[in-house]
Amino acid sequence: MTVSELVLLILEIIGTISFSVSGAMVGIKARLDIFGVVFVSAITAFGGGILRDILIGRTPPAIFENGYMVLLSFLSAIVVFIIIRFKKDEFSVFEERIEFINNFFDAIGLAAFSVMGTEVAFAAGFSGNVFISVTLGMLTGIGGGIFRDVLTDSTPFVFKKHIYAVASIIGSTLYYILRNNFENLVVVSVVPIVVIFSIRMLATKYRWSLPKIKVEK
């Protein structure tokens, strides 16, 4: 296994667990049954990667060759479901704390998958095209969350609240620049992951949002 493949594997594991936990919590909050929670959890984890692979002509998408990742997502969702099933009173009372935990895992997933998506662009031969590389990184990071929110009947989080897609774009661009100038993939990966995670958590803490127009009904 090459260093690039090892980095991709680590990022995929981190992102899968993080987005699966985040998706499961959103599904539980939307009062879905256990199948719905597991399904939403999986689509949160893999939706962006599936979209990315379709765009670069990889069919079937890579996730259908990685059954162990799907199993990891299912197990993550089931564990979350069981924990909250027996702690449902705390889930109702500590809603703000639950939201922070959800945002925390979501931020980790966004960071890991944004970098992973950009690295996939390099592996697919797009190292000379910053637009394609950053776009694939962003779609890998935010695609699953969009599918998750649509399935739970809410406006996608990325379009209305805090700095989300912008954090992914910044991190993916930073990874692209570092990847083309440095050989140490560990450092090249860690730096943009920390940047994306920090932006997301700071945006959550300080309620940063992009400008919007509030039109009176």
Residues 94, 88: Cα–Cα separation, whole Å:
10
pTM of the model: 0.91
Distance separating alpha carbons of residues 47 and 179, to the nearest angstrom: 25
Residue 86, in any domain of the structure? yes
Q: What is the pLDDT of residues 42-55, one digit of tens each?
A: 999 999 999 999 99
- The per-residue pLDDT of the chain, averaged, comes to 91
* pLDDT at residue 56 in the model: 94
Structural domain including 107 reads: 3-206
Residue 212 lies in a domain: no
Sign of CA dihedral 55, 59, 63, 66: negative
Count of structural domains within the chain: 1
Residue 215 included in any domain: no
Q: Is residue 214 in a domain?
A: no
Phi, psi of 167 (to 5 degrees): -60, -40
> Where does residue 117 rank: exposed (0-12), middle (13-18), buried (19+ CB within 10 A)?
buried
pLDDT of residue 93: 65
The whole-number pLDDT of residue 76 equals 96
13 or 214: whose pLDDT is higher?
13
pLDDT value of position 3? 72
Q: pLDDT of 14-37, one tens digit each? A: 999 999 999 999 999 999 999 999
**Which residues are within 8 A (CB) of 116 and not within 5 positions of it... i.e. 6 or more apart?**
8, 11, 12, 15, 137, 140
Mean pLDDT of 104-115: 94
Determine, yes or no, domain membership for 216: no
The string of pLDDT tens digits covering residues 74-106 is 999 999 999 988 887 776 666 677 788 888 999
3-state secondary structure 58-79: CCCCHHHHCHHHHHHHHHHHHH
- Establish if 213 belongs to a structural domain: no
122 part of a folded domain: yes
Within a domain: 211: no
Alpha-helical segments (H) within 67-184: 67-86, 88-93, 95-123, 130-151, 165-181
Given a contact cutoff of 8 angstroms between Cβ atoms, the answer to whether 196 and 14 are in contact is no
